[in-house]
Structure 1
Amino acid sequence: MEKLFKLKEHNTTVKREILAGLTTFLTMAYILAVNPNILGTVMNRNGVFVATALASAIATFIMAFLANYPIGLSAGLGLNAYFAYTVCLGELANEAEPFRIALTAVFVEGIIFILLSFFKFREQIINSIPQNLKFGISAGIGLFIAFIGMQNAGIIVNSDATLVDLGSFRNLDVVLALIGVIVIAALVHYNVKGAVLIGILAIWIVGMILQACGIYVPAEGTSLFPSFEGGLAFDGIKETAFKLDFGWAASHIIQFLAITFSFLYVDLFDTVGTVVGVADKAGLLDEKGNLPRVGKVFLADAVGTTAGSLLGTSTITSFVESSAGVAAGGRTGLTALTTGVMFLVSLILSPIFLAIPSFATSPALIYVGMLMLMSIGKVKFDGDIADSVGAYLAVVMMPLAYSIATGIMFAVIAWVILKVVTKKAKDISPVMWVVFVLFALRIVALVTNFQ
């Protein structure tokens, strides 16, 4: 362990690292319930569960042995919502198996990131994007995730008159989900490790008690109680693994590239922001504020994403919940190794994770959405007008247009145009010009309905 992870150099021990890894897993484990619920709207839920657990383990192992950082990885919230709701149920709703196209885009994104990880392109890209836009995009994704969580629980429902409306409190799903948000918030206040996961399990248990008492009636053919009668849910992987569709991508190249770029763009913010934040908390940044071996960190993310797309899940990214393990003393890859092992162990518990209902996982989405929305406090609205409007459009367009990609597109296009109009074109880097052109082509494709 000392040779692999340099424990003494990082002033830590095997016991401390293992406990930190377990802590990180507890704070991340909710994704094993949330991801199948989100991607399960367009894919086989059992297959998504297995793919998520395996891809998370693979990526986290790479982080452990290659980068030696205490960071866990799994399917990113926001990216999975974009995958299911924007791409599959939105842009590709008329296609026979839209999830195959989306998985292909994720695969291509992963390959691009693997190539970029051998150079410093990802760092250059992220450094070229204005800070205000970064914060605005993060906040917008937070609102979008929270909105999806509220819809899944029935807190927000469709309305012919006002488009959206408040759900009925006669619906126990609504009541239980709202209680779940309060429970998670209270647990976080008291620094309870694994607060999000405990909140999910607590509300699920309440639901099972209510079902046993005849108060809660689940949908026909379903139950809140897990069933092991069918054995472990491994067969579903056949419905999700190696389902890429390069034929569609080749015949709809502009639309496919736009989808791929959106995955690529959002993943940049998730990974870079999370890694720097966690590393800073762990005291791993150097005196210049840079992260040593950052290329290897990105490579773990990229390989995990590629593996996840082949297995059948959305983009894999570093989790901000890793900061919980760091707070528990994690400083090396042994923490990540422990987290990865726990993802493999979770496979034998698949019936439990797959039985967790939406009203129990929705509070996690709503709470994580709040964490991401906190970035709005870093946005400077009293400075450059291009920065202000760009960030504002990112925040409002994502939930209102029900699309992360649309929010990013409006933010970037408005920022570039306003920089030109205000005679500050010199502020526009070559990278931002490339991004602008790609999104402009996307608008042309939408206007002409070119597919």
Structure 2
Amino acid sequence: MESLEQKSSIARFLDNVFKLSENNTTVKTEILAGVTTFMTMAYILVVNANILGEAGMDKPAVFVATALSAFVGSLVMGLVANYPIACAPGMGLNAFFTYTVVIQMNHTWQFALCAVFIEGIIFILLTLTNVREAIIDCIPPLLKHAVTAGIGLFIAFIGMINTGLVKVGGAAVTLGSMRDPLVLLTVVGLIIAAILMSKNVKGAFLLAMIITSALGMVSGLITIPKGIISAVPSIEPVFMKAFSVSTSEIFSFDMVVVVFTFLFVNLFDTVGCLVGVASKGNLLNADGTLPRAKQALLADAIGTTAGAVLGVSTVSSYVESSAGISQGGRTGLTATTTGILFLASLFFAPIFTAIPAQATGPILILVGVLMASSVLQLNFSDPTDAIPAFLTFVMMPLSYSIANGIMFGMISYTILKLVTGQKEKVNKALIIISILFVCKFIFL
């Protein structure tokens, strides 16, 4: 009886903190959604360590910093913003960190970390002054639907690339070899996930990932983890190294360029992710604005700042959060669960790093299917609506960037509406942002 009462009191506590009843969800649903989101994101633990390792950083230390920064970012997003959106060091920006700032521009990785820290501080200031929230609100509803569809295509493309189902070849990309056992495992995983989803099986995505991973291990395609628990590596080699940069480097022109690039790309990646994912989870207000936008953006900014101190590249909101939302996640308990699992991954690295791309890839593809349905909300009969919307959702996967899709969409929307005499549909903020986008393409 006491155990039941304790469970009941915990459920009431979580309900009060995360407003579960108000959002028509339960503790079980939210935790399951958080686990699903984590499993689709777990790849970043190894991938980020490998990418930053090429910049000369200690890989085990980066592994720890990645897990801790994801824990901090997701926890703040869950507790402060109450959104089911998890955070972790972002793909794309980690590549810019290593291959552009360190290798191409010939700066140290400590210099790059310092740039990320400065970016995080600026983001916090922009968030507190409502600048980032104003940018979200000025995006027309039409483009918000297009962003959702574009993220769907983008995340499906990521799933296909990560599993080898699609690879570089032909004019640009080509179909992966159907004779490749790993590609076949991906196809099998996709079929399993699709069947479970079609039958409305609770936790379909999580179950599909477990089954696909098991099939891969049984067939010998995936390495079976040798242990369950491992020692946590030291974070000391990368911790607080952002503050080891000289004053002359901090105030250099290169630092300005690097910080601005981090700011620009991360800002619109985050805006696109928040709007697209929230839209799919029916979390937007009736007028299309994002409730608690300041808190969500602040969580992202705090994650980036903390991540730089810990020793990783820019932390951002993850489109893979859509996987958890598709499983019913509606509140911050989902993000909090994901964050806690990232923390736990420090001790159970052999298990979490054993989850293959062939198990998570099919889930990303099906999440893409769910999100792409937003194209049904678009008006293709009006060219001034259809062209910006099309450019928005098609440029995301083709340029491998959410930010690029938003930029092409907003520039074309502003130009077409102005030249066709529909000035009432374009506000001053949209014009200013479009001009900044054009400048970015010209000068950066």
Q: TM-score, normalised by structure 2?
A: 0.77
2:84 is aligned to 71
C-alpha contact (below 8 Å) 1:72/1:339 kept by paired residues: no
What's the CA shift for 1:85?
5.7
For 1:283-432, what aligned pairs fall within 5 Å after superposition?
Answer: 295-311=294-310, 312=312, 314-317=314-317, 319-321=321-323, 323=325, 340-383=339-382, 385-432=383-430
Q: 2:260 aligns with which of 257, 260, 265?
A: 257
Equivalent residues in 2 for 1:32-431, closer than 5 Å: 32-36=41-45, 38-40=47-49, 42-44=51-53, 46-47=60-61, 49-63=63-77, 65-67=79-81, 69=82, 71=84, 73-75=86-88, 80-84=90-94, 94-96=104-106, 107-159=117-169, 161-211=170-220, 216=221, 224-228=223-227, 231-232=230-231, 234-235=233-234, 237=235, 241-242=239-240, 244=242, 247=249, 250-252=252-254, 253-254=256-257, 256-275=259-278, 278=281, 280=283, 295-311=294-310, 312=312, 314-317=314-317, 319-321=321-323, 323=325, 340-383=339-382, 385-431=383-429
1:135 aligns to what SS in structure 2? helix
**C-alpha deviation, 1:261, in angstroms:** 1.2
Listed one character per residue, the Cα deviations across residues 238-295 of structure 1 (whole Å, up to 9, x for unaligned) are: 56654658948943334642442121012113224545665749xxx7x989877554
Supply the distance in 2 between the matched residues of 1:122 and 1:301 (Cα, whole angstroms): 11
* Aligned partner letter, 1:315: V
Contact 1:106–1:263, Cα closer than 8 Å, also in 2: no
**Distance of aligned partners of 1:397 and 1:19 in 2 relative to their CA distance in 1, 3 Å threshold:** closer
Shift in alpha-carbon separation, 1:166–1:149, aligned structure 2, 3 A: same
The question of whether the paired residues in 2 share the 8 Å contact of 1:143 and 1:395 is answered with yes
Asked if the contact 1:32–1:49 (Cα under 8 Å) also holds between the matched residues in 2, the reply is: no
Segments of structure 1 that go 5 or more residues without pairing to the other structure are 217-222, 447-451
Distance 2:348 2:178 in 1: 33
Q: Distance in 2 between matches of 1:210 and 1:288?
A: 51
1:127 partner letter: D
8 Å Cα contact 2:154/2:397 also seen in 1: yes
Give 1:229 deviation, angstroms.
Answer: 9.6
Q: Give the AA of the match of 1:200.
A: M
Q: Is this contact kept in 1: 2:281–2:326, CA < 8 A?
A: no
Letter of the aligned partner of 1:23 in structure 2? Answer: L
CA offsets 1:1-30 (integer angstroms, 9 cap, x no match) = 7897673996869xx965344223222121
Q: Note the residue ranges of structure 2 that are not aligned, 5 or more in a row.
A: 1-8, 54-58
> What is the identity, as a one-letter code, of the residue corresponding to 2:302?
V
Equivalent in the alignment of 1:25? 34
Superposed displacement of residue 36, structure 1: 3.2
Partners of 2:102 and 2:261 lie apart in 1 by: 13
Contact 2:272–2:403 (Cα < 8 Å) also in 1: no
The whole-number CA distance in structure 2 between the counterparts of 1:137 and 1:169 is 32
TM-score under structure 1 length normalisation:
0.76
Deviations 1:194-250 (A, max 9, x none): 433332332222122111xxxx4xxxxxx6122349933534x45665465894894
- The count of aligned residue pairs is 420
Structure 1 counterpart of 2:298, one-letter code: L
Change (3 A) 1:175 1:410: same
Q: Do the aligned partners of residues 422 and 260 (structure 1) sit closer, same or farther apart at CA in structure 2, a change above 3 Å counting?
A: same
C-alpha distance in 2, partners of 1:292/1:396?
27
* Larger displacement relative to structure 2 (389-398 or 253-262): 253-262
Q: Deviation at 1:305? A: 3.5
Deviations 1:58-99 (A, max 9, x none): 2343345545x36352338xxx34325677557987345797
Kept in 2: contact 1:150–1:156 (CA 8 A): yes
Once residues 148 and 325 of structure 1 are traced to their aligned partners in structure 2, the CA distance between those partners, rounded to angstroms, is: 20
CA distance in 2 between partners of 1:355 and 1:151 (Å): 19
Classify the secondary structure of the residue corresponding to 1:165. Answer: strand
For 1:398 and 1:291, the matched residues in 2 are separated by: 21
The 1:234/1:431 distance shift into structure 2, 3 A limit, reads farther
Matched with 1:449 is: none
Q: Judging changes above 3 Å, is the alpha-carbon distance between structure 1 residues 174 and 95 closer, same or farther for their aligned structure 2 residues?
A: farther
Deviation at 1:381, TM superposition (A): 1.6
